[in-house]
Amino acid sequence: MTYLTSLPLHEAPLAFLDVETTGLRPDLGDRVVEIAVVRAQGFTEVSRFASLVNPQRRLSPEAMRVNRITPSMVADAPIFSDLLDELLSLVEDAVLVCHNAPFDLGFLQAELRVAGLPIWDGVTLDTLAFARRQYWFQRNSLSAIARQLGIRPSGAHRALADALTTQAIFRRFAGRLRRQGRPLVADWIRLQGGRGWRPSS
């Protein structure tokens, strides 16, 4: 996977990932209720996948207020393990891009553990970490950065909408790096402060 870091950002295989969840703590049993992946080759989208997920546990009122996903919406949705084949095919051999990678990948790690699968430990770019180190936005939430960049999200706090917003922000950031002569995946990793994600033991 390290060969990915030598590729230009505008040519690398990318997978933009976002999850919605029952709460904030996968270590305390919170689960994924919606997941989306947008696969792209550089700046060009190749495919996308999004699904509600039956979390097999109660949804917290706080989470429902944010993502507006209700128990009735996920009652007949597939469980996470039923989605793994399609999900893993989209992130395979790709650079994963998230806004707040530790959150999204912490939940992905927890779900992979439940399914008895190895933890994903590939190359990760984090638009939140990059924004905090390289820009001076008033706020660094996904929606706030999008507004300040003039990006109009199709929605907020739903997995596909947030994955697409992350992709749009990534394009702006990557375009600036390219103009500055720092176009590689490795350049982004350095400027975001190192690896965007390290699995917990």
- Give the global pTM: 0.96
Q: Average pLDDT of 165-188? A: 96
CATH of the domain at 17: 3.30.420.10
Q: Which of the four pLDDT bands, split at 50, 70 and 90, describes residue 93?
A: very high
Q: Look over the chain and give the mean of its residue pLDDT values, rounded to a whole number.
A: 95
62-83 burial, b at 16+ Cβ within 10 Å, e below that, comes to ebeeebebeeebbeebebbeeb
Provide the pLDDT for residue 161. 95
Q: Which of the four pLDDT bands, split at 50, 70 and 90, describes residue 87?
A: very high
Domains in the chain, number: 1
pLDDT digits (tens, 9 = 90+) for 140-174: 999 999 999 999 877 777 999 999 999 999 999 99
Q: Is residue 187 part of a domain?
A: yes
Q: Average pLDDT of 92-111? A: 96
Q: Is residue 198 part of a domain?
A: no
pLDDT at 178 over 60: yes
Give which of 90, 71, 86, 85 is closest to 33, Cα–Cα.
71
Provide the pLDDT for residue 1. 57
Q: Is residue 196 part of a domain?
A: no
Provide the pLDDT for residue 200. 75
Q: Is residue 183 part of a domain?
A: yes
Give me the residue label for tokens 């490795």. 186
pLDDT digits (tens, 9 = 90+) for 121-138: 999 999 999 999 999 999
Neighbours of 2 (CB within 10 A): 8
Give which of 108, 99, 112 is closest to 167, Cα–Cα.
99
Provide the pLDDT for residue 111. 97
Range of the domain at 104: 2-191
Q: Is residue 199 part of a domain?
A: no
pLDDT digits (tens, 9 = 90+) for 34-48: 999 999 999 999 999
The residue with greater pLDDT, 156 or 63, is: 63
Give which of 191, 177, 137, 180 is closest to 43, Cα–Cα.
177
